Amino acid sequence: MKESSKNFNFAMLTYFVIVVLFVALRMISAFGLLDGLGDYSSVVFTILVQILLLFGGGVLLFSALKKQKPAQTLEFYGCESISKKVAGLTVLLGIVVFFLNVFVSSTFNSLIDFFGYEHVSSPLPSSYGFDALFVNLIFSALLPGICEEFVHRGMLLKTMRPMGMWKAIIFSGLLFGLLHMNIEQFFYATIIGIFLGFLTVMSNSIYPAMIVHFANNALSVYLSFSRVNNLPLGQVYEWFFGVISSNLFLGILLCTLVLLVLAYLLYMLCHKIFAEQLKNDLATAAKKAQKNLAKQAYFLDLESVKNGSQNAEILDPRLEIIKQLFSMQPAAQEKFSPPKLGQFLMWLVIGLMGAITIFTFVWGVL
């Protein structure tokens, strides 16, 4: 079996295990079996899901199946370095994605409301201190931003790439949305998942997706903190939605203007990030090329001294090395047909998570 087929099978088997155990944990939590932990129940649940299942499964189990070290798996997932400038631009992109996400989620929630869905809204706490903010940033933003990205934009996206770029992006994004197993989160999580997949492919690194994911979740946590403590972000949020709900025409106008500005910022930031990351990749490739060229030149010089040849005679081999390293001709790829076992497991988890997501719409379970 080809290496790409093995990787696809291993990834889908790993993901199947993650999903089954995640459903089991959701059921344990839904039946109140973690209530004995008191205030720590949500923290324990998050640790089990994020660290044990997603990180442990997505990295350690996949590594065990491939019989390689976790460090090799992380390299396989696409943990390529990014510059400080790219990191800063990606933080700004995460802020834009958050505000776009507010509009997308609000629109979708209004749509399912029309079909009779009753939201189970959690009221804001009466007090929200900095200690609670710190804990929520860790467990609701940092851990998901790292662990969920390793699984979806690392393991799944990477092993699905032989299917084709867009298929890999769409399927990994769909699985990301379905893993939330909640009709309220499914739509916007899928949209974000597809965008993060595109961002990962175009930047050739998983780190931008992690930063955007973290920034989106962190702003959501901070928004709740701001609303409880009557801080500027919370005040603006309340004012904006108060205006658009009180005046239909003004609401449509404001939403249109804001969406146009956000869409423009999204485009410009993505364009800038891809350009900066390309520069970073070219600089890294140039350093590697110089090292390789220096090594080749050293051995060629030794050979020339041994054979009594002239330096001019070894110039052509050096130029050939440069041509190979910087060739713009893409490597030919064989057509990839996902193995039957991997396909079966993929559609099985899509069916399982899809059914649970539909149940949350009909019965509000899990």
Q: What domain range includes position 295?
A: 78-328
More confident residue, 364 or 190: 190
Q: How many domains does one find in the chain?
A: 1
Burial of 162 (0-12, 13-18, 19+ CB in 10 A): buried
The predicted structure's pLDDT at residue 111: 82
Establish how many alpha carbons lie within 13 A of residue 88's alpha carbon, considering only the half-sphere containing its beta carbon: 4
Residue 362 lies in a domain: no
Going by pLDDT thresholds of 50, 70 and 90, the confidence category of residue 237 is confident
What's the CA gap between 86 and 54, in Å, rounded? 26
The predicted structure's pLDDT at residue 172: 96
CA distance between the termini of the chain: 39
Angle at 193 between CA 160 and CA 41, to 5 degrees: 110
More confident residue, 162 or 335: 162
Pick from 40-44, 80-84, 139-143, 305-309 the range whose average pLDDT is largest: 139-143
Q: What is the pLDDT of residues 245-267, one digit of tens each?
A: 787 788 888 888 999 999 999 99
Reduced to 3 states (helix: H, G, I; strand: E, B; else coil), residue 117 is: coil
More confident residue, 177 or 113: 177
The predicted structure's pLDDT at residue 312: 43
Reduced to 3 states (helix: H, G, I; strand: E, B; else coil), residue 95 is: helix
Residue 339 lies in a domain: no
Whole-angstrom Cα Rg for the chain: 25
Burial of 296 (0-12, 13-18, 19+ CB in 10 A): middle
The predicted structure's pLDDT at residue 136: 94
pLDDT at position 179 over 70: yes
Cβ–Cβ under 8 Å, residues 178 and 219 = no
Work out the average pLDDT over 134-154.
95
Candidate from 54-68, 119-133, 171-185, 282-296 with smallest mean pLDDT: 282-296
Share of residues in the chain with pLDDT > 70 (%): 85
Residue 7 lies in a domain: no
The predicted structure's pLDDT at residue 303: 59
The predicted structure's pLDDT at residue 48: 93
Largest CA distance in the chain: 89
What's the CA gap between 106 and 110, in Å, rounded? 6
Residue 59 lies in a domain: no
Residue from 159, 201, 195 nearest 176 by CA: 195
Residue 8 lies in a domain: no
pLDDT at position 41 over 70: yes
Q: What are phi and psi of 164, to 5 degrees?
A: 125, 145
Residue 19 lies in a domain: no
Residue 202: other Cβ atoms inside 10 A: 16
Q: What is the pLDDT of residues 89-105, one digit of tens each?
A: 999 999 999 999 988 88
Q: What are phi and psi of 7, to 5 degrees?
A: -60, -40
Q: What is the pLDDT of residues 196-217, one digit of tens each?
A: 999 999 998 999 999 999 999 9
Residue 356 lies in a domain: no
Residue 25 lies in a domain: no
- Residue 175 has which token pair? 């699985």
Q: What is the pLDDT of residues 289-327, one digit of tens each?
A: 776 666 666 556 555 555 655 444 444 444 454 444 444
Alpha helices, DSSP H only, in 119-164? 130-137, 143-149, 157-160
C-alpha to C-alpha distances, 154 to 128, 133, 208, nearest whole angstrom: 35, 28, 12
Residue from 332, 343, 277 nearest 78 by CA: 277
Tell me the pLDDT of the chain averaged across its residues.
85
